[in-house]
Structure 1
Amino acid sequence: MEKKIEKIKKSLLVMFPGVGYTCDKPLLYYIGKLYQNDNFEIKKLSYTGFMNGLKDDSQKMNHAYELVKKQTKEQLKDINWNEYEKVVFVSKSIGTVGAAYIFKYMQDKKIINSNLKISNIFLTPLVETFNYVTEKSGFVIIGDKDQWSDYAQICKLAEKYNLPAHIIENANHSLENSDIFDSIDIIFNVVKIVDSYR
């Protein structure tokens, strides 16, 4: 009797960091552990070549967006997306631009099949992110003291694209504040929010 070989269903978490918020910083680290415990493969991206003084300089920011899009495509080009049953993108700050961009790019170019479910976790997204976001493609977490993004504007954009938005009180762009214990609580609560969507 011939044995039927069952295909192993694989899952992948792709981590898109920020400029100074690497994949080893607390939020991305613990979200990565959460998915690793569910047997997800983990792909950590990294970005280089940013100019100093990005904030409030639109020319430098536009250069940074182009770098992120280019480096994201380069780092993900060899992945066979159709090997996976489920893919999650967790992104932070400027990494949210890379995540939204590559998701839309892969859909437009039909690189992924229609059966593959990709969901996005947008941590502290930038306004630029919403130039690429597709409807109902994930959710947003942002602090009400974010110094890089106007959280009210981000929430309106999230609503426009049917993305649930979670506002973290007294949290800055790193989703923390000056009180270390409060910051630890924020990390805990953010990871719990992420867990509730799995």
Structure 2
Amino acid sequence: MKIKPRKEQHNGIAYNYFDSTSDKVCFMFSGTGYTYEKPLLYYSTALMLELGYDVVQVCYAFDPQQFGQEPEAISETVFNAANPIVEYILSTKSYTKAVYIGKSLGTLPIIDFYMQQSSPVPSHYVLLTPLLSLDHVMKNLLVKQAFLAIGTADPHYSKERLEQLSSHKLAIVENADHSLEITNHTVESVIICQSLLTGLKAYLQ
């Protein structure tokens, strides 16, 4: 990527800021083990820069004991870590559009908070492997709109639950796991990444 991020910190949480001098911004929330260097988030970052967005990668880290909480409390923990950065960035420029991209754990604050609130700017939401097995996640996704990608070998995949989410742009990948890859099928996994990014680009344009 030609644009190198500035490593910043706000409210005790680090974030990477790619400044495209844009009036559009993309906020990214990683998973617990799926970091911004992993294929989908790395190339999603590159795509958003290609589309002319500033990009903010929130670099939170949590104590494993915090994941012993109820799912709603975990979601609130992630939101409380990320939202001060989101609010701060939105206050620094007159942004006209925002995109929120989350992977796994990072989809929780998007689904439970950002998609439920009235946004100060028009927003799109991208959910990579959301935790559909959680009842409150399903409840908060109904009659909303997002780009949602999940594999049929993901433990959170549910055909029945996805059938209830017809208002979303769904990318369902056969045999893909929670990383949206197929184990021991490297080329196929790269093709999956390409297909998802092509779909995401079309969704955002």
TM exceeding 0.5: yes
Larger radius of gyration: 1
Q: Which residue in 2 is equivalent to 1:3? A: none
- Deviation, 1:10, is 0.7
**Partners of 2:168 and 2:41 in 1: how far apart?**
20
- 8 A Cα contact 2:31 2:103, kept in partner: yes
Shift of the 181–21 alpha-carbon distance from structure 1 to 2, 3 Å rule, reads same
Distance verdict in 2 for CA 1:102–1:47, change over 3 Å: same
2:7 — aligned with what?
Answer: none
Instruction: Indicate yes or no: 2:46 matched with 1:33.
Output: yes
The residue correspondences of 1:172-187 to structure 2 (distance < 5 A) are 172-178=177-183, 179-187=185-193
The number of residue pairs the alignment matches comes to 179
Equivalent runs, 1:90-129 vs 2, <5 Å: 90-104=101-115, 106-107=117-118, 112=120, 116-127=121-132, 128-129=136-137
Give the Cα–Cα distance (whole angstroms) in 2 for the partners of residues 132 and 69 of structure 1: 15
2:159, 2:63 → 1: CA distance? 27
The correspondence for 2:174, drawn from 169, 175, 179, is 169
Q: Is 2:162 the partner of 1:155?
A: yes
Runs of 5+ unmatched residues, structure 1: 1-7
| Range with greater deviation from structure 2 (61-70 or 10-19) | 61-70
Closer, same or farther: CA 196–105 of 1 in aligned 2, 3 Å: closer
TM superposition score normalised by structure 1:
0.78
RMSD (Å), alpha carbons:
2.6
Deviations 1:48-102 (A, max 9, x none): 1142695xx6x46455323212112233231226711121111111111112234
Relative to structure 1, the CA distance from residue 153 to residue 25 in structure 2 (aligned partners, 3 Å threshold; closer, same or farther) is farther
Identical aligned residues as a percent: 25
Structure 2 vs 1, CA of residues 163 and 191 (structure 1 numbering), >3 Å: closer, same or farther? same
Q: What secondary structure, in the 3-state scheme, does the structure 2 residue paired with 1:125 have?
A: coil
Residues 1:74 and 2:84 are matched in the alignment: yes
Q: Distance in 2 between matches of 1:48 and 1:133?
A: 25
Q: 1:156 to 1:46 in 2, by over 3 A?
A: farther
Deviates most, 63-72 or 137-146: 63-72
